[in-house]
């Protein structure tokens, strides 16, 4: 059992290399072991490309060893034809001896079918090895499948005296450069990023990845009455952008206006993003939008930076309703992470 944990931990480490690159698919890692030696490794590298099991099998120098090998995979092998053939069928074709799986795939297209294919072929199957860790790693995927909405991360920066902006809505810069770089890393890891009208108007953010290497997230702004000027960076069509509003639906290059008849309802915005297979979204402000998400209880995680700066007065920061899960010091800033339970 100890060796099973070791090999599965390695598979989880491999899966992590796919973060920010495989959505709406899950991150998956795979390790192939023959007589207590790793003979193959792989992970899902990019959406639409080969899955972890395929890459691991292709890395094995002597395919004849597969029939006596154990395959460790972080998620149940797929059982359906999507952009790639079923991995469960590939493992059967290679006649592997045993498959150890961290967690089931709750996608209805898989949902136990991959395990069934393996067992019916006479392959020994073991499940539940580091299952909790595997589900946490793919919490965005499981939220999308099971909750039918994106995984929602709330993020804001506040002063030591509890303000997210001054009374004139100006807020640059509350945190230090290291904290801001970390936020850009997060942006590269998530599918989308959302701000409200006031944040767009007063901060004029680009909401892209400038201080990190990675893809830009889908930008989203909420502007019910379409009052924001076209001169804002969010409307420059440099990055795919959605503007939720109550006035019109229109496509203008990479800028899409999406009319929501309900107006400013969190559940309807998340439902629309779910339809578009958006697996995760960071809500970056302002205070009004953040409080709407907190009140809806349709959020999963809050990441709150507190700096040593003080404004004395201004726009009050939201108050997370749950205990702190983790505290991280970033030079003179403090990052507190909350999980909605």
What residues form the annotated binding site for NADP(+)? 157, 173, 199
In order along its 341 residues, the chain shows pLDDT tens digits of: 789 999 999 999 999 999 999 999 999 999 999 999 999 999 999 999 999 999 999 999 999 999 999 999 999 999 877 767 799 999 999 999 999 999 999 988 778 899 999 999 999 999 999 999 999 999 999 999 999 999 999 999 999 999 999 988 877 789 999 999 999 999 999 999 999 999 999 999 999 999 899 999 999 999 999 999 999 999 999 999 999 999 999 999 999 999 998 767 999 999 999 999 999 999 998 899 999 999 999 999 999 999 999 999 999 999 988 899 999 999 999 999 999 98
Do 234 and 200 touch, CB atoms closer than 8 A? Answer: yes
Nearest 5°: phi and psi at 291?
A: -65, -30
pLDDT of residue 244: 97
Active-site entry in 35, 41, 46, 53: 53
| CA-based R_g, the chain, Å | 22
Q: What's the pLDDT score for residue 340?
A: 94
Torsion of CA 58, 23, 157, 331, to 10 degrees: 0
Q: Which CATH superfamily, name and number, covers 148-339?
A: Dihydrofolate Reductase, subunit A (3.40.430.10)
pTM of this structure: 0.94
pLDDT reported for residue 83 = 67
Q: Are 76 and 82 in contact (CB under 8 A)?
A: no
User: DSSP letter string over 302-324?
Assistant: EEEEE-S---SSSEEPP--SS-E
What does the block give as tokens for 330?
A: 């970033």
Can you say which residues are annotated as belonging to the binding site for substrate? 171, 187, 203, 207, 210, 284
Q: Which residue has the tokens 């952009």?
A: 83
**Which CATH class, in words, describes the domain spanning 1-139?**
alpha beta
The secondary element (H helix, E strand) that includes residue 134 is: helix 131-137
Query: What ranges do the domains of the chain cover?
Result: 1-139, 148-339
Indicate the DSSP class of residue 30. Answer: E
Within 152-241, where are the H helices?
A: 177-189, 197-203
Please enumerate, by residue number, every residue annotated as part of a binding site for Zn(2+): 51, 78, 87
Q: Helix crossing, 287-296 with 266-275: angle to 10°?
A: 90
CB distance 50 to 21 below 8 Å: no
Would residue 41 show up in a list of annotated catalytic residues for this protein?
no
Q: What confidence score (pLDDT) does residue 50 get?
A: 95
Residues annotated within a binding site: 51, 78, 87, 157, 171, 173, 187, 199, 203, 207, 210, 284
């Amino acid at each position: 059992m100890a060796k099973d944990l070791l090999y599965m931990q390695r598979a989880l480490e491999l899966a992590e290399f796919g973060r920010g690159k495989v959505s709406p698919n899950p991150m998956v890692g795979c390790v192939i072991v023959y007589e207590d030696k790793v003979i193959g490794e792989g992970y899902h590298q990019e959406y639409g490309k080969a899955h972890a099991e395929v890459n691991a099998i292709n890395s094995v120098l002597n395919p004849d060893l597969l029939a006596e090998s154990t395959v460790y995979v972080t998620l149940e092998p797929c059982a359906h034809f999507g952009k790639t053939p079923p991995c469960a069928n590939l493992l059967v074709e290679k006649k592997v001896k045993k498959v150890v799986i961290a967690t089931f795939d709750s996608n209805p297209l898989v949902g136990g079918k991959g395990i069934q294919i393996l067992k019916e072929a006479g392959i020994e199957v073991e499940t539940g090895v580091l299952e909790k860790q595997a589900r946490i790693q793919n919490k965005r995927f499981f939220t999308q499948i099971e909750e039918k909405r994106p995984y929602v991360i709330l993020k804001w920066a506040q002063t030591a005296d509890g303000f997210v902006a001054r009374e004139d809505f100006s807020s640059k810069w509350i945190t230090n450069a290291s904290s801001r770089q970390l936020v850009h890393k997060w942006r590269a890891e998530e599918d989308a990023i959302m701000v409200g009208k006031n944040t767009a108007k007063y901060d004029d953010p680009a909401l892209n990845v400038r201080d990190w290497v990675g893809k830009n997230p889908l930008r989203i702004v909420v502007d019910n009455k379409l009052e924001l000027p076209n001169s804002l960076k969010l409307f420059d069509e440099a990055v795919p952008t959605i503007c939720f509003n109550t006035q019109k639906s229109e496509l203008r290059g990479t800028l899409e206006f999406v009319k929501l008849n309900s107006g400013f309802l969190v559940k309807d915005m998340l439902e629309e993003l779910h339809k578009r297979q958006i697996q995760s979204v960071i809500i970056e402000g302002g205070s009004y939008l953040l409080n709407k998400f907190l009140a809806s209880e349709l959020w999963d995680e809050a990441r709150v930076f507190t700096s040593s700066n003080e404004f004395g007065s201004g726009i009050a920061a939201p108050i997370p309703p749950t205990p702190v899960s983790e505290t991280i010091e970033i030079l003179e800033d403090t990052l507190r992470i909350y999980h909605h339970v």
